Amino acid sequence: MLAQDQNVLFLFDRSFDHFPLFIQIAIMIILLSVFLFLTGISYLFLNRTISKHVELRLKSIRDLVAGQLMVDLLNDKELSTHELNSWASKIISLSRKKRGYNQILIDQIIFYHHNFTGHTTIMLKSLFNKLKLAAYAERKLKKNNWVLKAKGLREIQEMTPITKEDMLKPLINHKNDDLRIEAQATYIRLNQTNPFDFFEHINEELSVWHQILLFETVTNTPNLAIPRFSQFLGVKNPSLVSFYLKLIAHYHQLDAVMALINLLNLSSALRFSNLA
């Protein structure tokens, strides 16, 4: 009897078994709802506390990185190799101790790189290489999350002059639209001698938005080897032909006139879109 009394379920049965069934069900639902509500509230509270803690930790690292970068970049004179090396080794030792340090460093270097030119840019690129941050960015390309992959691609195309084609090529036909565009833009920016060779392997249609982004990349990348686009007009992908036509018009490639006349004989919707 004592053993039965100590059983919680038994007590529960004894307390409610004289109620009608629907009341018992209602009580169960109420108890379950209260339990779920309290669990939800605890989860939110815990999540907020953790996020606040992480944000505080990241803020202190952000300030630390900003301070160090400023001290370095504020130097009017160019840093000697010895100075740069000692600065870099100090940063590397810190990045081993603090999680998130490398990412914040990359974010801030890219921020300054967007806002300044001249001596500051040279210094930033040099720091990026010394700190081996390209390898850190490249590691993101191996992650499963496409957002991280796209972030890695953006960091690489912003800060490094070259990248490994074998890492980039599989992403050029990735099923995720955003990642695919980012990969193609990166390829164009970094492969300056033959930036359009990947188009042969493109299977997907280029949406208008996709074409605009690639067009911006091509026209805004300095020192890009611009080919005669008329040679590519024979491809079977109509969206690609449409894209090439926009570039032909932009670069005033008058030698493409004959190829354009041939396109007029096409009886597909492509002709109308191209003429438009």
Partner 1 sequence: MRQKILIIEDEFLMLSFLQQRLQKEDLAVSIASDGDQAMELINTNKYDCILVDLMLPFISGFELISHIRANTINQATPIIVLSALGNEKTIVEAISIGANDFLKKPFALNVLVIKLKLLLKGHFISHTA
Q: Which residues contact partner 1 (rule: CB under 8 A)?
A: 66, 70, 73-74, 76, 108, 111-121
Residue 110 CA to residue 254 CA, distance in Å, equals: 39
- In the bound state with partner 1, the residue whose beta carbon lies nearer, of 113 and 130, is 113
DSSP 201-267: G--SPPPHHHHHHHHHHHHHSTT-----GGGGTT-S-HHHHHHHHHHHHHTT-GGGHHHHHHHHT--
The least distance separating partner 1 from the CB of residue 79, rounded to whole angstroms, comes to 15
- In the bound state with partner 1, the residue whose beta carbon lies nearer, of 119 and 143, is 119
The least distance separating partner 1 from the CB of residue 62, rounded to whole angstroms, comes to 9
- In the bound state with partner 1, the residue whose beta carbon lies nearer, of 98 and 113, is 113
Angle subtended at Cα 239 by Cα 235 and Cα 243, rounded to the nearest 5 degrees: 90
- In the bound state with partner 1, the residue whose beta carbon lies nearer, of 20 and 118, is 118
The least distance separating partner 1 from the CB of residue 216, rounded to whole angstroms, comes to 15
- In the bound state with partner 1, the residue whose beta carbon lies nearer, of 65 and 190, is 65
Contact indicator for 248, 255 with CB cutoff of 8 Å: no
State the burial class of residue 148 (Cβ atoms within 10 Å of its Cβ: 0-12, 13-18, 19+).
Answer: middle
Residue 189 CA to residue 169 CA, distance in Å, equals: 14
Ramachandran angles phi, psi of 180, nearest 5°? -60, -45
Residue identified by tokens 């955003």 is: 178
- In the bound state with partner 1, the residue whose beta carbon lies nearer, of 112 and 146, is 112
The least distance separating partner 1 from the CB of residue 109, rounded to whole angstroms, comes to 11
The least distance separating partner 1 from the CB of residue 112, rounded to whole angstroms, comes to 7
The least distance separating partner 1 from the CB of residue 78, rounded to whole angstroms, comes to 12
98: left (phi over 0), alpha (psi -120 to 50) or beta: beta
